[in-house]
Structure 1
Amino acid sequence: MRLTTLLLTAVLGTGLLAAPPPAATARPTAASAGTTSRAVDAPRARPHGRWLLDPRGRVLVLHGLNMVYKRAPYAPDAEGFGRDDARFLARNGFTTVRLGLVWKAVEPGPGEYDDAYLARIRRTTQHLAHEGIWTLLDFHQDLFNERFQGEGAPDWAVQDDALPAAPRAGFPANYFGMPALNRAFDHFWADDPGPGGVGLQDRYAAAWAHVASYFAGTPRVLGLDVFNEPWPGSQWEQCTNPAGCPVFDATLESFTQRVIDAVRAVDRRTAVFYEPQVLFNSGSPTYVRPRGRRLGFSFHDYCLTADAGAGESGVQQACGQADDLVWSNAAAHVDASGDAPLLTEFGATDQSATLTAMVDRAAEHRTGWQYWAYCGCDDPTTTGPGATQALVLDPAKPPRGANVDHSKMRAIVVPHPLAVAGTPASYHFDRDNRVFEAAWSTARAGGPGRFAAASRTRIAVPRLVYPRGYDVRVTGGRVVSGPDARTLVVSQAAGTREVRVVVRPH
């Protein structure tokens, strides 16, 4: 989740707008039987250069949300997230969910994994997969542990040298003012030995390997997000400058590589997404560049003044320059690393101008996104009331009527490509006139050659945008879906090198 007002105060003063995993045991559960067999590996999406490709080699343009439940038992179904929520997302053109797991629930005791918990998470991914939704599994943390008013690490992994967990100012203030919290991060980044003399990072990497093995046969797992918003610990002030913090990034890169290597020992197919240190969200660049195939770059963008009370026009102006810096840093990193970008958090605000600007910015960069967050869900590490971040107020109730924030829906539900049989050149939604335009080359983004005649591209055309239907003009292909279908399907013509589509309201 985002760092807002206090981060603004902290940053403005600076001028900035592996080892193999140890053996472990799992709690014996019937749910875990057969889940790690290589024979049941499910088809996977894969990063290729700056694109994410579906199993047919088409470019995926993902729009979706985060669903993370940060209270015990740390499973979204405990808050009521289920089949009706998955259907609601699919009906509105969303095709991905970043689904939170919490290390404390995965590994409640050192080397002891709770497969009953993983089975609950897996049932949620199955509901999503049934609706065609890709799941990014995220090891989520904010403020490291409940001792520091957050969530994430097991109690046995907390080493704070018995410093008092004070002052207790909540999220995000504790990052800046609680020495015990920063000491706990320091011990983690140093891979200091924990129970049994095993390094804390070794335990973490082994836990990820267990999760990766467990989900190897689960359909529509998009990838594994290594560590949510890494906080540098006591080194954080070094990161609050336009040059970033290469010293800490070297530590973060080593840790990230350790997790990737542990995952690859059990699963060579599922994409692994890694994150920069959290101050990247506000304009600090990153130097983290792990090695390996099928890697994705998971980054966040939060406007520091989104809820500062400046009014929508003032917010829009204040956020533009800061967001430009985040996206410029992301583009530079993607060019240097060759890893596929995905904006895995933004939002957590009810300022429509901020949301529409970010959705439109992502389209300009041809990059998918996951809005924060699906619900308030008694979130202990957010800013303001939980409803500020929520698209659906209560997942235990049907997602309709007053239970849905319709202003957020209008901001983030837009027409967009879903799966492109080629390489996207551009796509844009004119909100004033409700006109959507897209163009793509028929050249394969994932290798040499072109897609054959009759190859199909799918485009989300939400009824929220076109309640009375739409008209389509296609150059280089033809429409093969039914009139006013929620998903527009375009079949490309023989010999064409580029396809163009224009969608207008009736």
Structure 2
Amino acid sequence: MRLRRVATTVVLGVALVCVAPASSPAVGREVAGATGASGPAAGATTGQGSAAVLHAGQPSASRPGAAAAWPVPTGTVTAPDDRTLFTDRQGRVLRLRGLNLGKTDTVTEERIADLARDGFGLVRLNIQWEKVEPRRGRYDTDYLRYLDHILDWADRYRVLVLIDWHQDVYGPAFGHNGIPAWATRTDGLPFVPNPDDWFADYFQPAVQAAFTHLYDDADLRAAQGAAYAKVAEVLRGHRSLLGYDLFNEPFGPVPGDPNDPQNQIDASAALERGRLADMYRRLIRAVRSSDRDAWLFLEPTVLIGQGVPTSLPAFDDPRPGADRLGYAPHYYDTAVESGADWDPSSRFIERYEVAVADYPTTNRLPVLVGEWGPPRATTPGNAQLMQRQVASMDRFAAGWALWYDCRADNGGGYCAYDRNGGPAPGKEPAFAPYAPAVAGIPDSESYAATTRTYTLTMTADRTTRRAWTVLSLPAAAFPHGARVSVTGGGPAVVVGAGGPGQAGLLLPTARPGAAVRVTVTAR
């Protein structure tokens, strides 16, 4: 299916209904399961020109009856600007926002609940092969059970989970994490860690040899595929399972001078066209041997952050039906990673958007930015970078996961939260209201923090009459609840969606092509 924008100059009148506060189980059931305008949720009296009042921040552990309309990606659609976007079974356009967690810390139910409370609907869960299979041929059943519990919690709080097969500088043999020590072959080459620049460790001869063996040795390739198939077997069937990010920040041998930028570019292109592409084909087959429904995401090398387009080829998905493949680049500014305050004149964002566009557009892949965000956003440039990146990703991505779900004083490190659990200074843009599910064609979205005003514009299509648009209105933005007004599309029903800080919007008489504007203000 291909979405096409329909121009209209007609803006229809306002009609809103306030049915019940967000904590009402009855309202939660109807909003979650509704497929049309009739039913209990639409049964309140219509108030022409009125505004619905919603109550944010009321906790709900179960969200009764919500499973039927939980926004879970089952397909894609091509937007008018040629982006490939996720859609669910109702045809709604989905937009995913979330956080990374689980790299070296323990994930608890409370953390999943807090993340959902703050409006995030996605977890990029960092797992490592070294933990799945600490000894060759022996899987850690306790660790696999732990992963299964995390997805149980995600099921409960309606949070999607992207399993990220994580590695940094190969693995524990080099003081980092990822590939097991038993799967590390160095050919006796030296490794001298750089205490001031962990990324420089990738260029050490021993690390280069280890990556080469991982890509080339038949027994390691088979063991890696078996580990992926095992995890997919354990986790399949969870309604919260979005899919798998197949290999975090892929790296490989860099023959010649590693400090020569052109040499790095040439080595990256050769890796993506050759060894890495072969790995992805193996891992796609491995996961599909256990799970035919999960989405599988491909990462380019980190040079995408320097404005270097990927050289990855197209991939086939052996599952029956439409492919479920996606593209998961990271979005980091090298200078900021090295400690500098962001410089807008560097044109980092403009260069990145150009570099990232062609591959997913050509191959019709949804883009999910797996990692992004400055180490801290308390400096003027980095605070601006946070704002600019959120707006940028709305232009090219179907979703994103900020790095990282942790707490620190004054927004230290990469932490999304301050010590008290509020947004870290400067990182508030990641906590802004948004629409996780849009029954129509999303056009624009904005949030003005100074006035606490959120605006969504959309064009009605054939889904608008029968499916609910979901608004995430977290307490960080609307601590005392919110007022929602709608223009365009005819009479509107606005209700609480049975969960903290959410609202549902239905336009039962909207005509395809109608321009709809949703405005949310603080009470």
Q: Fold conserved (TM > 0.5)?
A: yes
Alignment map for 1:132-143 (pairs within 5 Å): 132-143=158-169
Deviation readout 1:254-307 (Å, 9 max, x if unpaired): 211111112122211111111011222322211213222100111101112226
Q: CA deviation at 1:66?
A: 0.3
CA shift, 1:331, in A, is: 1.8
Structure-2 change in CA distance of 1:358 and 1:295 (3 Å): same
Matched with 1:63 is 97
Map of 1:32-111 to 2, 5 A cutoff?
Answer: 45-49=73-77, 50-70=84-104, 76-77=105-106, 81-111=107-137
Counterpart selection for 1:423 from 437, 441, 461: 441
Deviation readout 1:461-499 (Å, 9 max, x if unpaired): 122112344332212152421499721211023242243
Give the gaps of 5 or more residues in structure 2.
Answer: 1-69, 78-83, 318-322, 378-382
Q: Does 1:373 align with 2:407?
A: no
TM-score by length of 1: 0.77
The residue number in structure 2 matching 1:447 is: none
Partner Cα separation in structure 2 for residue 466 and residue 280 of structure 1:
36
2: CA distance between counterparts of 1:61 and 1:229? Answer: 23
SS of aligned partner of 2:188: coil
For the 8 Å contact 1:47–1:340, the answer to whether it is kept is no
Structure 1 partner of 2:199: 172
The answer to whether the Cα contact below 8 Å between 1:241 and 1:284 also exists between their aligned partners in 2 is: no
Structure 2 residue identity aligned to 1:267: D
* Alignment partner of 1:493 out of 501, 508, 517: 508
Does the Cα contact within 8 Å between 1:283 and 1:326 map onto a contact in 2? Answer: yes
CA contact (8 A) 1:239 1:279 kept: no
Q: 2:269 aligns with which of 226, 246, 262?
A: 246
Q: Output aligned runs, 1:156-167, within 5 Å.
A: 156-167=182-193
The separation in 1 between residues aligned to 2:482 and 2:263, in whole angstroms, is 48
CA contact (8 A) 1:186 1:234 kept: no
Cα distance 1:328–1:295, how it changes in 2: closer, same or farther (>3 A)?
same
Partners of 2:98 and 2:121 within 8 A in 1: yes
Contact 1:375–1:387 (CA under 8 A) maintained in structure 2: no
**Structure 2 equivalent of residue 35 of structure 1:** none
Give the superposition deviation at 1:209.
1.3
Residue number in structure 2 paired with 1:502: 519
Give secondary structure in 1 for the equivalent of 2:232.
helix
Spell out, residue by residue over 1:154-193, the C-alpha distance to the aligned partner (whole angstroms, 9 max, x if none). Answer: 11110110112214435112123x111111112222x214
* 2:473 matches 1:472: no
Partners of 1:213 and 1:274 in 2: CA distance: 20
Distance in 1 of aligned mates of 2:296 and 2:453: 36
Aligned to 1:276: 300
Q: TM-score, structure 2 length as denominator?
A: 0.75
Measured in 2, the distance between the counterparts of 1:56 and 1:241 equals 45
Identity of aligned residues (%): 28
Which SS does the other structure have where 1:407 is aligned?
Answer: coil
Counterpart Cα distance in 1 of 2:411 and 2:178: 19
Contact 1:242 / 1:283 at 8 angstroms: preserved in 2?
A: no
1:113–1:242 distance in 2 versus 1, CA, 3 Å: closer
Aligned to 1:412: 430
Of 474-483 and 150-159, deviating more is: 474-483
Structure 1 residues without counterparts, runs of 5 or longer: 1-41, 71-75, 378-384, 394-400, 444-449
Q: Greater relative contact order: 1 or 2 (C-alpha under 8 angstroms, separation 6 or more)? A: 2
Q: Distance in 1 between matches of 2:337 and 2:268?
A: 28
Quick one: which amino acid aligns to residue 367 of structure 2?
A: P
Compared with structure 1, are the counterparts of its residues 65 and 424 closer, same or farther at alpha carbon in structure 2 (3 Å cutoff)? same
- In 2, the alpha carbon distance for the partners of 1:62 and 1:241 equals 32
Q: Out of 247, 252, 274, which is 1:227 matched to? A: 247
Residue aligned with 1:440, SS: strand
For the residues of structure 2 that align with 1:421 and 1:239, how far apart are their CA atoms? 46
Alignment CA distance shift 1:406-1:43 (3 Å) = closer
2:57 maps to none
- The 3 A distance-change label for structure 1 pair 480 and 270 is same
Tell me the distance in 2 between the aligned counterparts of 1:437 and 1:413. 15
Quote the residue 1:361 is aligned against.
Answer: 392
Matched, 1:435 2:460: no
Find the aligned partners of 2:265 and 2:116 in 1 and give their Cα distance.
40
* Residue of structure 2 equivalent to 1:297: 327
Distance 2:303 2:162 in 1: 22
Q: 1:159 to 1:279 in 2, by over 3 A?
A: same
Partner of 1:7: none
Structure 1 392/429 Cα, relative in aligned 2: closer, same or farther at 3 Å?
closer
1:75-100, CA deviations, whole angstroms, 9 ceiling, x for partnerless residues?
Answer: x43xxx31221221111110000001
Bigger-Rg structure (1/2): 2
- C-alpha RMSD over aligned residues: 2.8
C-alpha change, 1:346 and 1:460, in structure 2 (3 Å) is same
Cα separation, partners in 2 of 1:478 and 1:120, compared to 1, 3 Å: same
Distance 1:241 1:180 in 2: 18
- One-letter code of the match for 2:87? L
Q: Give 3-state SS (helix, strand or coil) of 1:268's partner.
A: coil
- Asked if the contact 2:98–2:120 (Cα under 8 Å) also holds between the matched residues in 1, the reply is yes
